[in-house]
């Protein structure tokens, strides 16, 4: 079969690089004509221009969003795969109406993301960023940091990543309590943690780590009320989605000194503005939505997107979310 006879697969905005140069692309070329764009589309019109004629998209960057009015102008489009677990960049309701299958990549990079969440927890508890910034100003002073062994970690969301975070933290000597939209009592028994009411996670934890997907039910799940329940000096870690936390309430809790610190990989608006209030908060650790960005993590995501696209083409779609 010649290239012109192959269905078109578009990668609309691979910026920063996720899949460009991956050997997984070469496998995809056996099944699709590939059109890869290495910069983000400037607007919806450019998205439509890039995706016109495509049977499939691999949305390698969640910053490239697909609202219903854009999808409605792509009559050839039948399939979208994300390059991760999150699908909040895609109007799933519109996809259902338009007959567009959407697949994601659940679970594969859970150990990679959980490792990053654990590193963030360690960094904020021992105030490594704060001390580093102070020493670079020739400011040598010591303040108390937090030991984690023996402390209580509260986990919100016990899916693949939350489960890995629990495993790491239990091995480190932490007690773990958790709340989930879908609790699994057998998992709790096997791993040695307890499910409790959601308010108790906030009120009884030295550290709260967030691991839920962004839905209408989880948007601003952590707001002023929840933050006020947290013990003075406690810590918040978020590697889920930025909008799970009410950012204004978080800044207020940090500025007041009620929270001892926060460690964040995700934000309500990305990239984070240079004058954002979080930037001036002293006891924060910030990373640029990069929890799964290791060579191993990237390849796992690229492999998953490749397999999703080929499975759809062969008539047995997998990891379908819409």
User: Which residues are the active-site residues?
Assistant: 241, 270, 289
The token pair that represents 231 in the structure block: 């013990």
The token pair that represents 34 in the structure block: 């590939």
DSSP for 237-254 reads EE-S-GGGB-HHHHHHHH
Cβ(150)–Cβ(175) below 8 Å: yes
Which one, of 262, 242, 244, 243, lies nearest residue 252 by Cα?
262
How far is 153 from 121, CA to CA, in rounded Å?
Answer: 10
Which one, of 134, 129, 177, lies nearest residue 153 by Cα?
177
Cβ(253)–Cβ(222) below 8 Å: no
How far is 157 from 245, CA to CA, in rounded Å?
Answer: 14
Please enumerate in sequence order all residues whose Cβ is within 8 A of that of 53, keeping only pairs 6 or more positions apart, or say none: 8, 76
């Amino acid at each position: 079969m010649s290239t012109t006879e192959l269905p078109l697969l578009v990668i609309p905005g691979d910026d920063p690089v996720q899949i460009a140069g991956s050997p997984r692309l070469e496998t995809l070329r056996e099944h699709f004509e590939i059109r890869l764009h290495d910069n983000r589309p400037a607007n919806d019109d450019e998205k439509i221009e890039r995706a016109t004629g495509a049977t499939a998209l691999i949305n390698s960057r969640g910053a490239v969003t697909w609202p219903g009015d854009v999808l409605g102008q792509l009559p050839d489009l039948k399939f979208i795969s994300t390059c991760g677990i999150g699908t909040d960049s895609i109007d799933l309701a519109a996809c259902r109406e338009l007959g567009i299958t959407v697949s994601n990549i659940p679970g594969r990079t859970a150990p990679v993301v959980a490792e990053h969440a654990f590193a963030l927890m360690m960094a904020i508890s021992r105030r490594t960023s704060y001390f580093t910034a102070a020493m670079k100003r020739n400011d040598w002073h010591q303040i108390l940091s937090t030991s984690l062994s023996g402390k209580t970690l509260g986990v919100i969301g016990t899916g693949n990543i939350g489960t890995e975070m629990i495993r790491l933290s239990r091995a480190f000597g932490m007690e773990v309590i958790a709340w989930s939209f879908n609790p699994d009592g057998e998992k709790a028994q096997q791993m040695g943690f307890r499910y409790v009411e959601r308010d108790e996670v906030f009120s009884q934890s030295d550290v709260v780590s967030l691991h839920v997907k962004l839905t209408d039910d989880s948007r601003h799940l952590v707001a002023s009320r929840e933050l006020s329940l947290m013990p003075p000096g406690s810590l918040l870690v978020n590697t889920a989605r930025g909008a799970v936390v009410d950012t204004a309430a978080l800044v207020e809790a940090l500025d007041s000194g009620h929270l001892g610190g926060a460690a964040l990989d995700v934000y309500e608006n990305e990239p984070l503005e240079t004058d954002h209030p979080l930037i001036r908060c002293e006891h924060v650790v910030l990373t640029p939505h990069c929890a799964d960005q290791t060579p191993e993590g990237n390849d796992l995501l690229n492999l998953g997107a490749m397999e999703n696209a080929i499975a759809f083409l062969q008539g047995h779609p997998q990891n379908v979310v819409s």
